[in-house]
Amino acid sequence: GVIQNARVFSYYTKFKNESGFQAGDYQFTAAQTLDEIIATLKSGRVLADAKHTITIPEGKTVDEIAEIFSNQLHFTKEDFLEKVNDVDYINQLIRQYPTILSDVILDPDIRTPLEGYLFAATYSFYEDEPSIEFIVESMLDKTVEVVRPYLPEIEQKGFTVHEALTFASLLEKEAQTVEQRKMIAGIFYNRLEIDMMLQTDPTVSYAVGKHLSQVLYEDLEVDSPYNTYRVKDLPIGPISNFGENSLDATLFPEETNYIYFLHDPEGNIHYSETYEEHLRLRDQYLRNSNGTE
């Protein structure tokens, strides 16, 4: 993805009479120009030991990602958030990454444009003070790398990339294992097919703007395009980043007749086809000895 067209690059280097490229391991971003790529390949400046190695886990929001980086690098959390919410910069990124980004992320109701697009992975940086732009674009490069093989399936499902990543973020927050994610994906498809709200609690937490250890009825009423207890279909955008198996589950769900599921205190998930059965399971697993939930 760094050199977009091998033939053009070959013609360009011949036209410029460039040669003397040196073998080695290099670090590039898709934002670099052909001249910058050529200069680096000629310099022989190969990768040394990383100055910083930082892991971004799955299921993290942009706000949490900003905090992780700011705790280990030279800029503040506010610096990172200011950059990733800068409209001019986002427009530049939309032009740079048309495979994954579109104008939809500029919808004013979306909390932060790059939510869900900064891929969960371990990143190595070879400068003492890597720029925020370099970090963001390294993460977007990784997202492109992961998403590109799934583009035919995304189109076949009738999703945009934005919708597919939104769906994947819900699975990322709702389940822990590959099997659970595929099953819940199948349940979400079933709900969408019968015009039922998705009613997934992590969207309520995101809408409220904080982690909720227990979702209360008053929380379900929050007026937000992210709250799937109030809006039909998918929320307006992702609620976190995602792992590849969540995207895979989005596109290759388990076929099931289940409509409902619940988590018990031990982390198990219980599925049911009817609301009556769901209520019975809720009474069985979520009520304590004095009969409260």
pLDDT of 96-125, one tens digit each?
999 999 999 999 999 999 999 999 999 988
Whole-angstrom CA distances from 274 to 81, 258, 281 are 44, 8, 11
Least confident of 2-11, 18-27, 87-96, 120-129: 18-27
CA distance 75 to 54: 14
pLDDT of 204-257, one tens digit each?
999 988 777 677 778 788 889 999 999 989 999 999 999 999 999 999 999 999
Q: Which residue, chain included where needed, has tokens 């198996």?
A: 245
Letter for the amino acid at 191? R
The pTM of the whole model exceeds 0.95: no
Average pLDDT, the chain: 90
| Residue 293, pLDDT above cutoff 60 | no
> Which of 229-251 are b and which e, b meaning 16 or more Cβ less than 10 Å from the residue's Cβ?
bbbeebbbbbbbbbbbbbbbbbb
Percent above pLDDT 70 for the chain: 96
Residues 254/186, Cβ–Cβ less than 8 Å = yes
Q: Which residue, chain included where needed, has tokens 């910058």?
A: 36
Percent above pLDDT 90 for the chain: 68
Rounded average pLDDT over 146-150: 96
More confident residue, 91 or 32: 91
The token pair that represents 32 in the structure block: 């670099």
Per-residue confidence band for 158, with pLDDT thresholds at 50, 70 and 90: very high
More confident residue, 268 or 289: 268
| Residue 28, pLDDT above cutoff 90 | no
CA distance 203 to 208: 9
CA distance 141 to 135: 10
pLDDT of 265-286, one tens digit each?
888 899 999 999 999 998 888 7
Please report the pLDDT score of residue 46 as a whole number: 63
pLDDT of 162-189, one tens digit each?
999 999 999 999 998 999 999 999 999 9
Please report the pLDDT score of residue 288 as a whole number: 52
CA distance 275 to 54: 44
Please report the pLDDT score of residue 291 as a whole number: 31
